Structure 1
Amino acid sequence: MDNWFKSRWFVRGISLAFAIALYVFVQVEMDQYQNDSRLLHDSGDDAQTVEDVPVNIRIDNDSYVVSGVPEVASVTLEGTRGTLTATAQQKNFDVYVDLEGLEEGKHTVDLQHSGIPDDLNAYIEPKTIEVTIEERESEQFDVTVDPFNTDKLPDGYEIGEVQADPGQVTITSSKEVINQIAIVKVFVDVAEATESIDSREVPVKVYDANGNELSVLVEPESINASVEINNPSKTVPVSVETTGEPPEGYSLSSISANADEVEVSGTNEVLQNIEEVSTEAVDLSDITESGTVDVGLDLPDGASVPDSGAIEITVELEQTRTFEAVPINVENIGNGQDISFTEPENQEMDITVTGSQEDVSELSADDFNILIDAEGLEAGEHEVPITIESPDAIEVNGEFEQAAVEIS
């Protein structure tokens, strides 16, 4: 076989065969093209297709409704280039279906055209359609307003009253379609709304019982919808919660909220279960000074209060301190007399003081005067009451109530 390809005559033969096959293929394609052209160009020398030409319906629209007519059709124009181009660009012709004189029911009819110059041929696609003619009927329906995205309202907000203006629309279609109407409504988006929606224009939608939207004539096509957005609130008392005990040396005198009540906002469903609001627990073990602290409120889900949701709490502590070895003073000792203490020894004793934390924290031993009155005491041993002078509002307890002394 290698010898064949080395032969010039073999190669020439193969080339000739390919040339003949190519010629036959091209000739067949040209014949097919000419046949197609003859179908499209019985006359004239050019063709152009105009897409999306509106289809008009010729019928008594006051009495009948028609289904099955396409909204648009394609028109292929043939003819001389000048007329063809102008007609295709201007589209100053009509495509229509003539149903005048036909009775109710189903009919097979042709699409027709008017306004196309006589020297152009026109081919409409689709050429034939099946239509249904039905008696026209009109009926009034109530319109409902359906707010949606209610789950995207801010916390505490809820839908109040809704209103449609007008509250009714007139729907026109065939009797069969009118009987299918189950729902006539408008939709209002309330996502993130914090204020009422007033007279928003929205289109009317018509559905059957299965939720399928129906194509009907609605008058008016749109209505004004209003949706009330509410943020209900109620005033409830505040209770203060605590945990733990004050550090050693301190006790809780009082704790109270600076506001007896707070206004709580939320939906009515949330608010109906709220009779009071508690603060977050105040840990007393961390407090060593009287004063005010800001504490958050323990609010149920869906409830809120103005600002940050915190409240000011006033804490009053009572403090107890011990002053050791405070000297005991002696008053009214007689001339020439001398006094010595048997108990307490060293003529001093410990005292424990209690009062408000602000007052007690400022005290020192010098603020107290411990004394006994030796007036009239004769030589010998005596039990003498001990008196402690202290600042106002301070409770003092001494280590001893009496002193054992000896007068010499």
Structure 2
Amino acid sequence: MKQKLTNNLSSNLSLRILSIFLASCLWVFVINTDDPITTRTFTNMEVKIIHTEVLDSLNQTYQITEGEKITFSIKGKKTIVDKLKKSDFTVTADLSELSSVNAVPIKIQAKKYADEIEIIYGNEKTLKLEIEDLQQAQVPVVAETTGEPKSGYTVGKKTTNPNLVNIKGPVSIVKRIKQVKVLVAVDGISKDMVTKVRPVCYDSDGIEVDQSRISMDVNTIKVKIAVWKSKKLPLSIETTGEPADGYTVGTIDYEPKYIYVTGESRDLSDLSEINLPAIDIDGKKSTVEESINLDSITLPEGISLAQQEKEIMVKVNIDKLSEKDLTISDKDIQILNNSHQYKVEFVDSAIQIHMTGLTSSLKQATLDNLKPRIDIGELEPGEHNVSVILEEISNVKISGDRTIKIIVEEENSQTEED
């Protein structure tokens, strides 16, 4: 009987243990069915760098070369995993842990449920940096304009405040920066303007430099643009020296004939023309062509060029001389200023002149154009040698004795003698 009771008790205990085991399995099954373990992945999580003062104390800076954004996963109960967002995690790289190969471990921490989830790192476990010394430099500020002012006006003096900016950043970037520019649009303006402009850095080739890793001591530059009136002035050009014997200066052609200058009104009012440097033709026998750079012209103080063209093309024609002789008869000579009504008798019947010049010019050297004449306004009665006055003909040189002998008499002198 005792043995039977013992067997029953053993059988009941085994059943109870089996029941407990089955119940546990059932509970685990139910739990896992209702709230299973799941995995979730977060991508493009930005790594926050902390303790940057470590490099600041060494006057150094960094640039991320690898690991700026990472991907990681979390594992845990679905009810918990589904509640978590990117903002529930901090991803940091502590520069105080910087290694000799410029790598920093990346640490991911959950702000909540940290004990109920597992963080699974992706491939990016370290942040890799490029370490570089910092440099400071003072760089000049240059103001430039875009567009065109109102017609009849031009951009004058450009001033900036400040005219130097302090720049700080990696050596490799700062040493590239040669100029800081501020660009101001001046389309259609006709008076001075003041504005504030964001400065932009440029290298020696005029290429804009990325400013994301540098700092300046100012965010904007104050720029004043003076607007001046412009004036159209004719150009004047002369020659120096003499061509070779038998040659003369012909026409002088140049383009443009006018240039625009700018300045304050009081300075412009005194200007009527711009004199170009003289062209040397000494000993020349053929056409002389030269280009004159307007930048080489000395302009009055306060006056500057207001146009794009910088070159004046000049052509001085050197022509071979022709010759022409002309006899001027006493009948062709007009008598001037005979206020006393004197009688004038020509002792010499004619004069001979010799002319040299361009063929085209010599054709103009006619009696009608030369208008030969003598002036007797200051003469008393008697015999005189007077000079025949001739009109000048462009590009014609006249030689020969122009003196002619005349006798001046009072009109009634012959009657009294009789």
- TM normalised by structure 1 equals 0.41
- TM normalised by structure 2 equals 0.40
